[in-house]
Chains A and B, each alone.
Chain A
């Protein structure tokens, strides 16, 4: 089973600041998903990255997939209180089969 390490574990910033969170593994990802989870709710998919070096943007969120497909980052520009939540990365594996391995997540708090 692939081990996903996320950092930092906790992050508290002021509204308007920029931030980056990371997801790393010792093994190659076949594909990587980023999810955001708000308190009391289930995770919601933000993006999937598949190709090494890939960059995807979702409004103020920028996702990068490392060239070697062993790491990924999520950068948020001008964070807002609505960005508060738990950010999880997950990897499904080449066989897919509907089962994912999740990192422990980064808990982000954006203060107004």
Chain B
């Protein structure tokens, strides 16, 4: 099992550009989520999904869109990048009926200039 994979590993965008961060998991987990991590802070939840076709907002959803067409994939879209979105983005998955343990991808380091 590859676990949770994320692409790209690094990305530099100019203000106003759009892009999609890819996330895939091969553990057949029902739940998937996106977090951002800024220096000196823990992880903050952007969006999450409890299954294909179902998504909801987390703590910091503005400027981001998600969709979940399959169990395996959960892409995160930046609609119009802003310098405040410079951060490291982590995708995670977890299973229904567990105690909340999450499995994380390696992250995407995004810089918006």
Contact = CB atoms under 8 A, between A and B. Distances in A.
Interface of A: 1, 4, 9, 30-31, 33, 40-45, 48, 50, 88, 90-93, 96-105
A14 B103 CA distance: 31
Interface of B: 4, 29-33, 35, 40-45, 48-50, 58-59, 90, 92-94, 96, 98-107
Given A33-B101, A93-B100, 14 more contacts: A31-B99, A40-B107, A43-B43, A45-B102, A45-B103, A90-B100, A92-B100, A96-B94, A98-B94, A98-B102, A99-B58, A102-B43, A102-B44, A103-B42
A102 B29 CA distance: 21
Given A43-B43, A104-B41, A98 B50 contact: yes
Contact of B104 (A44, A98, A101): A44
22 contacts: A31-B99, A33-B99, A40-B107, A42-B4, A42-B90, A42-B106, A43-B104, A44-B104, A45-B101, A92-B99, A96-B96, A96-B99, A97-B31, A97-B48, A98-B29, A98-B33, A100-B102, A102-B35, A102-B43, A103-B42, A104-B42, A105-B42
